[in-house]
Structure formats: structure tokens, C-alpha cells
């Protein structure tokens, strides 16, 4: 039986890459992230369903950026408790969803890979299963996101390394793959561990 983590409180897509600039000098920006009222999930990735139409996520296998050619990280999951920890260390600019996850689940505690390694289950408000998120992997933080967390301030290399390590181990979220028939997720659906 699934163990409830909490309700899904935010759904979003990335319209384009979140890192700009040449390799070695990339900067992270959040402008391509857009919140959506519903999210269609398939094995290929996610599509935002908004009043203006469908928005293909940059990690969808059909997106021209080809950020998910292997098909194993088309969906990303984050947790509200992780954002509380990140804001405490780095500041209020790390707003909910700024790491670009597809969905955010409200939780009161930090979620580790050990918690979600068997996979996640998404339930509707009535408790019926909509589908499962499998092949869970840590979304390791990149240098550009770490620079964003540090407000692009110049810090000693050791401080930067410590910040990069701090954001790892799932704090930045998890990548996964949808298992099952296509489904539409909405705020109020529930995330649970298997």
C-alpha cells in the first residue's frame, strides 16, 4: 500500500533551456518556467495544459531541444520541504518551482533517494491510482543552478563546492519516468511512495 507524502501543489513546464551562455560561463534563469493548471504525463514526458493551449516541456522526447533522448528523465519531482531548506541557506529568491520541476509535492520533511527509489505513485483526490513514476534518479545540481542559488555572487571555490554538495542528494529534486497509461495531473492529486 502506498505511503502518502502529500498533495501536488504546483505543476509547471519548461518552455526552453534554463541555462544560457557558452559552456563554462552558463547562467541559470527561470523565465522559461511556466505554471500550468494541468499536466498531461506520458512515457515521453509532460505537456502543460493551459488556457492558451498545450505547452511541450523541454524534457519531452518530442521537444526540439532533445534534452531527454534516453527517455529516462522526462518528468521531475520536487518537494516543498526541500525549498524551505534551500531558502533557509540561500535566500527567498529560491521560490517554489525555481529549480524547474514538473510537479511539486507538499511535504513536511526532506525526501531522500531511499524514500523514492522504489518509485512514486500519483493518486487522485479520491485515492485512486493515476499512474507511477519509476526509474527515479537524483537531479544533481549543475554549476549554473548553484550560481543562481548563490545569487551569482563570487564565492571562494570551496564555498561553491560546499553549496553544490548541499544541493545534491535529491534536495534539487528527482528525475523519473511515467509508467502506465497517459494521465492528466491536477493540483490536489496526491504523491505517495510505493
| Mean pLDDT across 36-41 | 98
Report the distance separating Cα 86 and Cα 95, nearest Å: 9
Residues 153-173: tens digit of each pLDDT: 677 889 999 999 999 999 999
Residues 6+ apart with CB under 8 A from 89: 149, 163, 166
Q: Are 30 and 18 spatial neighbours (Cβ–Cβ below 8 Å)?
A: yes
* Residue 72 pLDDT greater than 80, yes or no: no
DSSP 142: P
Residues 103-147: tens digit of each pLDDT: 999 999 999 999 999 999 999 999 999 999 999 999 999 889 999
Cα separations in angstroms, 193 against 14, 24, 89, 158: 25, 37, 27, 35
Report the distance separating Cα 129 and Cα 125, nearest Å: 10
* Residue 22 pLDDT greater than 90, yes or no: no
Q: What is the pTM of this model?
A: 0.94
Amino acid at each position: 500500500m502506498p505511503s502518502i507524502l502529500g498533495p501536488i501543489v504546483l505543476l509547471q513546464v519548461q518552455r526552453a533551456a534554463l541555462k544560457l551562455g557558452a559552456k563554462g560561463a552558463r547562467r541559470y534563469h527561470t523565465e522559461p518556467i511556466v505554471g500550468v493548471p494541468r499536466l498531461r504525463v506520458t512515457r515521453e514526458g509532460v505537456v502543460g495544459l493551459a488556457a492558451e493551449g498545450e505547452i511541450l516541456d523541454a524534457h519531452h522526447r518530442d521537444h526540439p531541444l532533445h534534452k531527454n533522448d534516453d527517455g529516462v528523465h522526462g518528468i521531475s519531482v520536487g518537494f516543498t520541504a526541500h525549498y524551505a531548506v534551500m531558502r533557509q541557506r540561500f535566500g527567498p529568491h529560491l521560490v517554489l518551482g525555481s529549480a524547474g520541476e514538473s510537479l511539486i509535492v507538499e511535504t513536511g520533511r526532506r525526501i531522500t533517494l531511499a524514500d523514492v527509489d522504489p518509485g512514486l505513485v500519483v493518486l487522485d483526490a479520491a485515492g485512486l491510482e493515476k499512474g507511477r513514476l519509476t526509474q527515479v534518479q537524483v537531479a544533481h545540481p549543475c554549476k549554473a543552478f548553484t550560481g543562481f542559488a548563490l545569487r551569482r555572487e563570487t564565492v571562494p571555490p570551496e564555498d561553491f563546492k560546499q553549496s553544490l554538495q548541499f544541493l545534491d542528494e535529491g534536495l534539487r529534486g528527482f528525475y523519473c519516468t511515467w509508467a502506465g497509461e497517459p494521465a492528466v495531473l491536477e493540483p490536489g492529486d496526491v504523491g505517495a511512495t510505493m
